[in-house]
Every structure is written in C-alpha cells, then in structure tokens.
A and B are shown apart, each in its own frame.
Chain A
Amino acid sequence: MFASTAGEFEIERRLDAFARARLSPLPGSKARTRARVMREARLVFGAQAQAAAVASVVGRMPATTHRSPFIRRGGGLLLAAGLALGLAGGAMAASDAGGPLYPTRIWFETFALPSNPSDRANAEIDRLSARLTEITDAAKRGDQAAVEAALLAYQRIADEAFAGAGDDSALTERLAAALGTHVTVLQGVAANVPAQAREAIERNITRAIDHNDATIERSRSHPAAPGAGSNPNPGSEPNPGSNGTNPDTTPKPTKEPSVAATPHPTQPAHAADPSPTADPPKGPPSEKSDNGPPEQNGKPTP
C-alpha cells in the first residue's frame, strides 16, 4: 500500500494484523447496525419522496390557473410552509412514544447527557419525568403501544441512572426519591386508564412499579460507600472494606417505597457534589442483548 522498503512493509503488516485482530467489528455487528441505519434511511427517503411528489403537484398548478404572480407566490409559500409543517409534524409523530423513531430519540438523548455525575443524575431525573409525562398522556389516550414504549424507555433510563450513580449514596438517594414519587404517579395513572385498554396498560404499569420498587430496594440495600457523595478526597477510591458498616449512610431497604418515599420527593442534594473521578456512566442503551447490561425490563431482580 504505502511501503517502499522491507521495514515499512513490516510496519504495515503489523498494523494490518493489529487492525484485523483488535479493531474488526464483532460478528453480527454489521448486520445489527445495517438494519437500524437502513430503517432510518427508509424513513428519511420516504419523507423526501413525499415532499418531491407534493412539489411536482405544486409545480403544475400555475399553468392551469390565471391568478396574479403575487397570489401564486403567496400560495406557493403557503403550500411550502404547510409541507414543511407536515413533514416536521410527521417526524415529530414518528419520534413520539410508540413511533418508529422513538427508540432513536431516546438513544440520542443519552449522548447529550453531562459527564459530571451529579448533573447527569439530575438530567436522568428530567428524562424520567419526561417519560412519565409520555406514559400519562398515552394512558389517557388508551394508546397501549405508546405506554409500553415509554415504560420500556423509563425502565432503561432508571437502570442506566442507577448504574451511573455507582456507589455514590447521595446520588442514589436522589434517584430513589424521584422514583418513589413516580411510583405514586404511576399508581394514579393505572387507576384512571380508559376501559378499552385497561388490562394491558395496567399490567405494564404494575410491572414498571415493581421494577421501580426493586430498583429502589436494590440501590438501598447495596452497600454504598460512606461519604461517597461528599468525598473530601476526589482522587481516592471508595473503601470497599467499609461498605455497609455505617448504618447512617446506608438507607434502610423499604418493602413499600411508594408511599414512604412520597413525602420528600426532591432532595436538596445538588450541593453534595460527588467525586469527579466517579466511574463514567454506562454507554447508550442498545437494542442488542449480547453486549449491553443484563436485561431487567419487567423482570426485577431484587
């Protein structure tokens, strides 16, 4: 390729061997990525084709009418604006809960998350609240697929948020408090689902509540590092030997967190910034199951 001497050839050979051995995609990786990318491509190209079809109709209109150029231009602008709104509306609808672009939208959100663990936890709580709103709206409409999609996203984000909080007890507690509040909201939603889709939506919401309960319980029973939320020595690792030995920093597990957690939904814990060297949060949620974290949706593992 580039080599002109035996030494350069040897370097190229070794670099090539290195790339083949350590940088090649895993088996199945290309097929997975291709399927997702081409799904996006179909949506984009489909929208383009619709736009082109409408544009061709608009292009033919002036020949058969005798309106003034001003009116024609105004009409064209209105049509263009309508088309743009229609396309934007279509894209927005596609990225709504249950829409084909919804998982992609959720996945893109993870890329915009801050890296600071405290800010990240707040952002994750915002994302959870957004999902909760989607669940509530979809349940009101009786849209079972949207409820299911939003609940699935909610559970994934919750898992991701707790994984990102790691051993930081302040962050974990903040997340648990938010989830506790959400459980109450979810119970309210489940109680007011329209009759036509009640059974399935209730079942899904109950599963999500169980998942939340299990997550809260797991986070509280997990031995958090004492003082991890206000570590005076940012470079130091939490001491595993002292985990769980200080009852003051390890909240008691509660079997019924939904009611107990509601009186104090928001914790003023923003000031207790965790150590900057906390483990980076997990990667974006993935549809695949071979590389990602253990699937827990609907299957709480206390």
Chain B
Amino acid sequence: MTIDDAAIERLVGEARSGDEWAFAMIFDHYHEPVYRFIASRIQRPSDAEDLTQLVFVKVLEALPRYESRGVPFGGWLFRLARNAVIDYVRTRHDHTELESVIERARGDAGPDEVAIVRQELDAVAAALEKLTDEQREAVELRFFAGLSAREAAEAMGKQEGTVRGLQFRAIAALRRELGIEDGQVAAGTEFRAPRRVGVTNDG
C-alpha cells in the first residue's frame, strides 16, 4: 500500500480531530519503516518492538502540536523516532551490533543459497559499520525506512542537500567496501527498483 503526501496530511488532520481509524491508517503505513529504522540501531528485536510502540505513543501525544507548514509528516515522525532511539541508547549503553540482529531465513532457498545470502548480508553489515555515523543514519532513513531526502533531512535536522551528499558518499563507500563495479549486477536479478516501504517519491 502506498499513500501519497497529500493523503498522509489528510489522515493526520483527521487523526488530530480524534479519528481513530485515521490514526490506525497512519500506524499501518509507518509501522514497518519505523521498526526497520529502530531495529537498525537496537540490538534486540523485543526492544525494537517496545521502542516502536513508544514512538507511536509519543506521536499520539504530540499530534496536537504537529503543524504541517511545509514540514513533511514522515520527517516529523522520524525525528521523534530518532530522539527515542538516542535516549534509549544513551540510557542503556546499547550499541548497534548489526551482525547480531535476527535474520529471517528464506523458506524457498536451499542451504547453499542460504549460505551465499548470509555471506552477502554479513558483508553489507560489515560495510555499514565502516560508514560514519551520519552516513549510516542517512542510509538507514533513506533505504531502510524509505524516507525521501526531504523527510530524512527533517528527521536528522539537516539541509536536504547535506543529506543527499551524505547518501552519495555512503553509497560510494559501500561500493568500495563491497567491491561493486558499475557493470556488476547480481546474477538472476533484473534492473528494477526495489520495493519501497516509505511514503513519498521525490527520490
């Protein structure tokens, strides 16, 4: 399900006036992106789940104070999520351990394929760890949570151009780390955009 920015703003307006259904729609739309963003920072899935819940409760509390005024709702929501993660990490001294997060096995893959996939995922995790904090955050917001550059900029409290720059440098660093040349595309994959979990489509 994809919802455009205007639809999100309508839902937000309805939720602000006490429409439970509208808030449920907002939850359904943002749950996975928020969870992914949090899970990329928090080691334990159970903690990521609790923190995701906390973020939505905070959204509920802060919704009356939200004013659009050109600020995309996704960016505003992820700013709350980002602050919640920062608070959590600060109080728990829980650092990101990307390698240790749970991997969901693909049911349709054989043992060899699973081993190859795991190797590839481990390589991505290791490459992500070598990025700077800001570069990694840009990747997390843009690719894992599916935010637009504008939303990611709002969430990070930076200019849109800065976020684009961080993303550009992060991709370059990941390509170097993973040894990916321009001509190299994994066998059996066609050149199409991956599924996006986020909202907007400004790229």
A and B: partners?
yes
Taking beta carbons and an 8 Å cutoff, which residues of A are in contact with B?
Answer: 1-3, 5-26, 29-30, 32-34, 36-38, 40-42, 44-45, 48-49, 52, 104, 107-108, 111-115, 280-281, 283-284, 286, 288, 291-292
Decide if A6 touches B191 in the complex (CB within 8 Å).
yes
> At the interface with chain A, which of B2-10, B71-79, B119-127, B153-161?
B119-127
Which of A5, A14, A104: most chain B Cβ within 10 A? Answer: A14
- 5 new A-B contacts, CB < 8 A, other than A20-B104, A34-B28, are A3-B193, A8-B171, A21-B103, A25-B52, A281-B92
Decide if B180 touches A284 in the complex (CB within 8 Å).
no
Decide if B185 touches A104 in the complex (CB within 8 Å).
no
CA of A26 to CA of B61, assembled, Å = 26
Q: A6-B182, A22-B101 are in contact. Are A291 and B45 (CB under 8 A)?
A: yes
Decide if A15 touches B139 in the complex (CB within 8 Å).
yes
A280: contacting residue among B87, B93, B178, B183, CB under 8 A: B93
Asked whether any CB of chain A lies closer than 8 Å to the CB of B40, the reply is: yes
CA of A41 to CA of B92, assembled, Å = 28
1/0 contact string of B1-38 vs chain A (CB within 8 Å): 00000000000000000111001100110011001100
Q: A7-B182, A280-B92 are in contact. Are A25 and B124 (CB under 8 A)?
A: no
Interface residues on B, range: 35 or more
Decide if B20 touches A41 in the complex (CB within 8 Å).
yes
Q: What DSSP secondary structure best describes chain B's contact surface?
A: helix
| Minimum CB–CB distance for B153 against chain A, Å | 15
Q: What DSSP secondary structure best describes chain A's contact surface?
A: helix
CA of A107 to CA of B54, assembled, Å = 10
Q: Which residues of A contact B56 (CB under 8 A)?
A: 33, 37
Q: A16-B194, A25-B32, A25-B35 are in contact. Are A284 and B50 (CB under 8 A)?
A: yes
Please list the 8 inter-chain residue pairs (A to B) with the smallest Cβ-Cβ separation, ordered nearest first.
A291-B46, A16-B194, A7-B182, A23-B36, A45-B18, A23-B39, A37-B56, A283-B47
Q: A30-B31, A34-B27 are in contact. Are A5 and B182 (CB under 8 A)?
A: yes
